[in-house]
Amino acid sequence: MTVASALWAMHPDFLAAQLRSGTIDAMLPDSLRGVASLMGGQPQQAKQADPIREGATIIIPITGTLAPRGLSGSTYYDVIADRVREAGADAKIGAVVLAIRSPGGYVWGCAEAGDAIYEVRQSKPVIAVSDPYCFSAAYWLGSQGSGFYCTTSGEVGSVGVRSGHTDVSGFEDKIGMKTTLIASHDDKIAGHPYAPLDDAARAEIQASVDESNAAFAAAIARGRGIKASDVAAIHGTGKTFSAKQALANGAIDGVATLRDVVSQYNSSRNRLALMRRQAAAMEMALSI
Protein backbone atom coordinates (compact mmCIF):
# COMPACT_ATOMS: atom_id res chain seq x y z
CA MET A 1 0.00 0.00 0.00
CA THR A 2 1.29 3.47 -0.94
CA VAL A 3 0.07 6.46 1.07
CA ALA A 4 0.33 9.62 -1.02
CA SER A 5 -0.38 11.97 1.90
CA ALA A 6 2.22 10.31 4.14
CA LEU A 7 5.43 12.03 5.13
CA TRP A 8 8.18 10.91 2.77
CA ALA A 9 11.94 11.17 2.95
CA MET A 10 12.61 9.84 -0.54
CA HIS A 11 14.31 10.92 -3.76
CA PRO A 12 11.63 12.81 -5.78
CA ASP A 13 12.08 10.83 -9.01
CA PHE A 14 11.68 7.47 -7.26
CA LEU A 15 8.75 8.79 -5.23
CA ALA A 16 6.99 10.21 -8.30
CA ALA A 17 7.14 6.81 -10.00
CA GLN A 18 5.84 5.04 -6.91
CA LEU A 19 2.99 7.48 -6.33
CA ARG A 20 2.03 7.51 -10.00
CA SER A 21 1.73 3.74 -9.99
CA GLY A 22 -0.27 3.77 -6.76
CA THR A 23 -2.63 6.51 -7.95
CA ILE A 24 -3.42 4.84 -11.27
CA ASP A 25 -3.99 1.50 -9.55
CA ALA A 26 -6.33 3.09 -7.02
CA MET A 27 -8.45 4.68 -9.76
CA LEU A 28 -9.02 1.42 -11.65
CA PRO A 29 -12.25 -0.48 -11.02
CA ASP A 30 -11.66 -3.97 -9.60
CA SER A 31 -12.44 -5.64 -12.93
CA LEU A 32 -9.88 -3.55 -14.85
CA ARG A 33 -7.32 -3.91 -12.06
CA GLY A 34 -7.54 -7.68 -12.44
CA VAL A 35 -6.98 -7.47 -16.20
CA ALA A 36 -4.03 -5.12 -15.70
CA SER A 37 -2.42 -7.45 -13.19
CA LEU A 38 -2.77 -10.39 -15.57
CA MET A 39 -1.18 -8.44 -18.42
CA GLY A 40 1.62 -6.89 -16.41
CA GLY A 41 2.16 -9.52 -13.74
CA GLN A 42 1.90 -8.91 -10.04
CA PRO A 43 4.94 -7.06 -8.65
CA GLN A 44 6.69 -9.22 -6.11
CA GLN A 45 7.81 -7.66 -2.85
CA ALA A 46 11.53 -7.95 -2.44
CA LYS A 47 12.66 -10.59 0.02
CA GLN A 48 14.36 -9.18 3.08
CA ALA A 49 18.07 -9.38 2.32
CA ASP A 50 20.09 -11.47 4.75
CA PRO A 51 23.21 -10.02 6.34
CA ILE A 52 26.46 -11.39 4.98
CA ARG A 53 29.20 -12.24 7.44
CA GLU A 54 32.78 -11.64 6.35
CA GLY A 55 35.21 -12.51 9.11
CA ALA A 56 34.92 -10.07 12.00
CA THR A 57 32.77 -7.74 9.90
CA ILE A 58 29.06 -8.16 9.20
CA ILE A 59 27.47 -6.59 6.12
CA ILE A 60 23.82 -5.57 6.51
CA PRO A 61 22.07 -4.62 3.24
CA ILE A 62 19.64 -1.69 3.25
CA THR A 63 17.91 -1.72 -0.13
CA GLY A 64 14.89 -0.37 -1.97
CA THR A 65 12.01 1.57 -0.45
CA LEU A 66 12.26 1.84 3.34
CA ALA A 67 9.01 1.43 5.25
CA PRO A 68 7.46 0.51 8.59
CA ARG A 69 6.05 -3.00 8.72
CA GLY A 70 2.51 -3.06 7.34
CA LEU A 71 3.22 -0.74 4.42
CA SER A 72 4.70 -1.60 1.05
CA GLY A 73 8.48 -1.56 1.07
CA SER A 74 11.62 -3.50 0.25
CA THR A 75 13.26 -3.17 3.67
CA TYR A 76 11.48 -2.65 6.99
CA TYR A 77 12.86 -0.23 9.57
CA ASP A 78 12.35 -2.65 12.46
CA VAL A 79 14.36 -5.31 10.61
CA ILE A 80 17.23 -2.85 10.18
CA ALA A 81 17.12 -1.91 13.87
CA ASP A 82 16.95 -5.55 15.03
CA ARG A 83 19.84 -6.68 12.85
CA VAL A 84 22.06 -3.78 13.82
CA ARG A 85 21.38 -4.35 17.53
CA GLU A 86 21.99 -8.10 17.18
CA ALA A 87 25.33 -7.36 15.53
CA GLY A 88 26.14 -4.90 18.28
CA ALA A 89 25.52 -7.53 20.94
CA ASP A 90 27.54 -10.23 19.15
CA ALA A 91 31.05 -10.32 20.64
CA LYS A 92 32.36 -12.12 17.53
CA ILE A 93 31.56 -9.12 15.34
CA GLY A 94 34.06 -6.30 15.41
CA ALA A 95 32.44 -3.94 12.90
CA VAL A 96 29.11 -3.47 11.12
CA VAL A 97 28.95 -2.32 7.50
CA LEU A 98 25.64 -0.97 6.16
CA ALA A 99 25.54 -1.58 2.40
CA ILE A 100 22.98 1.02 1.29
CA ARG A 101 21.24 1.02 -2.08
CA SER A 102 18.04 2.92 -1.41
CA PRO A 103 16.13 6.00 -2.63
CA GLY A 104 14.68 6.45 0.88
CA GLY A 105 11.10 5.93 1.92
CA TYR A 106 8.60 6.74 4.65
CA VAL A 107 9.48 8.99 7.58
CA TRP A 108 7.47 6.71 9.89
CA GLY A 109 9.97 4.40 11.58
CA CYS A 110 13.11 6.05 10.22
CA ALA A 111 14.12 7.84 13.43
CA GLU A 112 13.87 4.63 15.44
CA ALA A 113 16.13 2.73 13.03
CA GLY A 114 18.55 5.66 13.04
CA ASP A 115 18.61 5.63 16.84
CA ALA A 116 19.51 1.91 16.78
CA ILE A 117 22.46 2.58 14.48
CA TYR A 118 23.66 5.48 16.63
CA GLU A 119 23.24 3.37 19.76
CA VAL A 120 25.35 0.49 18.44
CA ARG A 121 28.15 2.77 17.22
CA GLN A 122 28.85 3.58 20.87
CA SER A 123 30.23 0.05 21.31
CA LYS A 124 31.66 -0.77 17.87
CA PRO A 125 32.12 0.86 14.45
CA VAL A 126 29.05 1.01 12.23
CA ILE A 127 30.12 2.04 8.74
CA ALA A 128 27.62 3.14 6.06
CA VAL A 129 28.44 2.83 2.37
CA SER A 130 26.35 4.32 -0.44
CA ASP A 131 26.53 1.49 -2.98
CA PRO A 132 25.79 3.24 -5.30
CA TYR A 133 22.99 5.55 -4.09
CA CYS A 134 21.81 6.63 -0.67
CA PHE A 135 19.02 9.20 -0.63
CA SER A 136 16.77 10.88 1.90
CA ALA A 137 15.60 8.42 4.61
CA ALA A 138 18.50 6.12 3.67
CA TYR A 139 20.82 9.10 4.07
CA TRP A 140 19.26 9.72 7.50
CA LEU A 141 20.29 6.19 8.45
CA GLY A 142 23.73 6.40 6.85
CA SER A 143 24.57 9.61 8.70
CA GLN A 144 24.08 7.83 12.04
CA GLY A 145 27.04 5.52 11.53
CA SER A 146 30.59 5.93 12.78
CA GLY A 147 31.72 6.49 9.20
CA PHE A 148 29.95 7.32 5.95
CA TYR A 149 31.39 6.47 2.52
CA CYS A 150 30.21 6.54 -1.07
CA THR A 151 31.38 4.27 -3.87
CA THR A 152 33.28 5.93 -6.71
CA SER A 153 30.37 6.32 -9.15
CA GLY A 154 27.79 6.73 -6.41
CA GLU A 155 25.52 9.54 -5.30
CA VAL A 156 24.11 10.74 -1.99
CA GLY A 157 21.79 13.44 -0.67
CA SER A 158 18.16 14.40 -1.31
CA VAL A 159 17.94 15.52 2.31
CA GLY A 160 14.46 16.72 3.25
CA VAL A 161 10.84 15.73 3.80
CA ARG A 162 7.77 16.05 1.62
CA SER A 163 4.13 15.12 1.61
CA GLY A 164 1.30 15.78 -0.81
CA HIS A 165 -2.35 15.80 -1.69
CA THR A 166 -4.19 14.29 -4.63
CA ASP A 167 -7.37 16.04 -5.76
CA VAL A 168 -9.42 13.51 -7.77
CA SER A 169 -12.58 15.63 -7.97
CA GLY A 170 -11.88 16.57 -11.62
CA PHE A 171 -11.41 12.93 -12.53
CA GLU A 172 -14.69 12.02 -10.84
CA ASP A 173 -16.50 14.78 -12.73
CA LYS A 174 -15.28 13.36 -16.05
CA ILE A 175 -16.55 9.86 -15.31
CA GLY A 176 -19.82 11.03 -13.74
CA MET A 177 -18.95 10.07 -10.19
CA LYS A 178 -19.25 11.97 -6.91
CA THR A 179 -17.97 10.91 -3.49
CA THR A 180 -19.66 12.14 -0.32
CA LEU A 181 -17.83 11.65 2.96
CA ILE A 182 -19.67 11.47 6.29
CA ALA A 183 -17.59 11.71 9.46
CA SER A 184 -17.89 12.24 13.19
CA HIS A 185 -15.95 15.50 12.87
CA ASP A 186 -14.44 17.61 10.10
CA ASP A 187 -10.96 16.76 11.40
CA LYS A 188 -11.60 13.11 10.52
CA ILE A 189 -11.79 13.95 6.80
CA ALA A 190 -9.42 16.93 6.66
CA GLY A 191 -7.37 16.95 3.48
CA HIS A 192 -9.52 14.32 1.75
CA PRO A 193 -8.83 13.77 -1.97
CA TYR A 194 -12.34 14.48 -3.26
CA ALA A 195 -11.99 18.28 -3.25
CA PRO A 196 -9.20 20.86 -3.55
CA LEU A 197 -6.96 21.17 -0.50
CA ASP A 198 -8.14 23.98 1.78
CA ASP A 199 -5.80 26.41 3.55
CA ALA A 200 -6.19 24.88 7.02
CA ALA A 201 -5.37 21.36 5.83
CA ARG A 202 -2.44 22.68 3.78
CA ALA A 203 -1.03 24.48 6.83
CA GLU A 204 -1.31 21.32 8.93
CA ILE A 205 0.50 19.20 6.33
CA GLN A 206 3.22 21.86 6.05
CA ALA A 207 3.66 21.90 9.82
CA SER A 208 4.12 18.11 9.84
CA VAL A 209 6.67 18.35 7.03
CA ASP A 210 8.59 21.08 8.86
CA GLU A 211 8.59 19.13 12.13
CA SER A 212 9.90 15.97 10.47
CA ASN A 213 12.51 17.92 8.52
CA ALA A 214 13.78 19.48 11.76
CA ALA A 215 14.11 15.97 13.22
CA PHE A 216 16.00 14.91 10.07
CA ALA A 217 18.46 17.81 10.42
CA ALA A 218 18.91 17.12 14.14
CA ALA A 219 19.69 13.47 13.42
CA ILE A 220 22.31 14.38 10.81
CA ALA A 221 23.84 16.93 13.20
CA ARG A 222 24.05 14.30 15.95
CA GLY A 223 25.43 11.61 13.67
CA ARG A 224 28.02 13.80 11.99
CA GLY A 225 29.00 15.82 15.06
CA ILE A 226 28.05 19.22 13.66
CA LYS A 227 25.61 22.01 14.50
CA ALA A 228 22.07 21.66 13.21
CA SER A 229 22.42 25.10 11.65
CA ASP A 230 25.28 23.77 9.47
CA VAL A 231 23.40 20.76 8.09
CA ALA A 232 21.84 22.54 5.11
CA ALA A 233 25.14 24.05 3.93
CA ILE A 234 27.01 20.74 4.13
CA HIS A 235 24.36 18.14 3.29
CA GLY A 236 21.98 20.17 1.12
CA THR A 237 18.24 20.79 1.23
CA GLY A 238 17.07 18.34 -1.42
CA LYS A 239 19.86 18.21 -3.99
CA THR A 240 21.92 15.10 -4.63
CA PHE A 241 25.71 15.03 -4.88
CA SER A 242 28.26 12.85 -6.60
CA ALA A 243 30.73 11.05 -4.35
CA LYS A 244 33.43 13.59 -5.25
CA GLN A 245 31.22 16.60 -4.49
CA ALA A 246 29.86 15.10 -1.26
CA LEU A 247 33.42 14.57 -0.05
CA ALA A 248 34.35 18.13 -0.99
CA ASN A 249 31.32 19.40 0.96
CA GLY A 250 32.37 17.37 4.00
CA ALA A 251 29.17 15.32 3.90
CA ILE A 252 30.95 11.95 3.79
CA ASP A 253 34.22 10.58 5.12
CA GLY A 254 35.62 9.21 1.91
CA VAL A 255 35.11 7.74 -1.55
CA ALA A 256 35.47 3.96 -1.43
CA THR A 257 33.79 0.83 -2.75
CA LEU A 258 31.97 -1.57 -0.46
CA ARG A 259 34.80 -4.08 -0.91
CA ASP A 260 37.36 -1.45 0.05
CA VAL A 261 35.45 -0.50 3.19
CA VAL A 262 34.97 -4.10 4.32
CA SER A 263 38.67 -4.75 3.79
CA GLN A 264 39.66 -1.60 5.66
CA TYR A 265 37.44 -2.10 8.71
CA ASN A 266 38.09 -5.81 8.96
CA SER A 267 41.34 -4.83 10.66
CA SER A 268 41.17 -4.51 14.46
CA ARG A 269 43.76 -1.71 14.32
CA ASN A 270 41.59 0.33 11.97
CA ARG A 271 38.51 -0.27 14.12
CA LEU A 272 40.35 1.00 17.19
CA ALA A 273 41.58 4.10 15.35
CA LEU A 274 38.05 4.85 14.13
CA MET A 275 36.58 4.54 17.62
CA ARG A 276 39.19 6.97 18.94
CA ARG A 277 38.34 9.50 16.20
CA GLN A 278 34.65 8.97 16.91
CA ALA A 279 35.12 9.61 20.65
CA ALA A 280 37.05 12.80 19.90
CA ALA A 281 34.31 14.01 17.53
CA MET A 282 31.61 13.33 20.12
CA GLU A 283 33.57 15.21 22.77
CA MET A 284 33.92 18.17 20.41
CA ALA A 285 30.18 18.08 19.57
CA LEU A 286 29.26 18.13 23.28
CA SER A 287 31.43 21.18 23.82
CA ILE A 288 29.72 23.20 21.07
5/14 Cα distance (integer angstroms): 16
- How would you write the pLDDT of the chain (288 residues) with one tens digit per residue? 566 568 888 888 788 777 776 554 555 444 444 444 444 444 445 455 566 654 479 999 999 999 999 999 999 999 999 999 999 999 889 999 999 999 999 999 999 999 999 999 999 999 999 999 999 999 999 999 999 999 999 999 999 999 999 999 999 999 999 999 999 999 999 999 999 999 999 999 999 999 999 999 999 999 999 999 999 999 999 999 999 999 999 999 999 999 999 988 876 555 556 566 666 666 666 665
How many degrees, rounded to 5, is the angle at CA 52 between CA 49 and CA 56?
150
Structural domains of the chain ordered from first start: 52-161+207-287 (3.90.226.10)
Q: Is 141 exposed, middle or buried (0-12, 13-18, 19+ CB in 10 A)?
A: buried
The pLDDT of residue 282 is 67
pTM score: 0.80
- List phi, psi (to 5°) of 90: -85, 110
The pLDDT of residue 281 is 66
Among 253, 31, 223, which Cα is nearest to 110's? 223
123/173 Cα distance (integer angstroms): 60
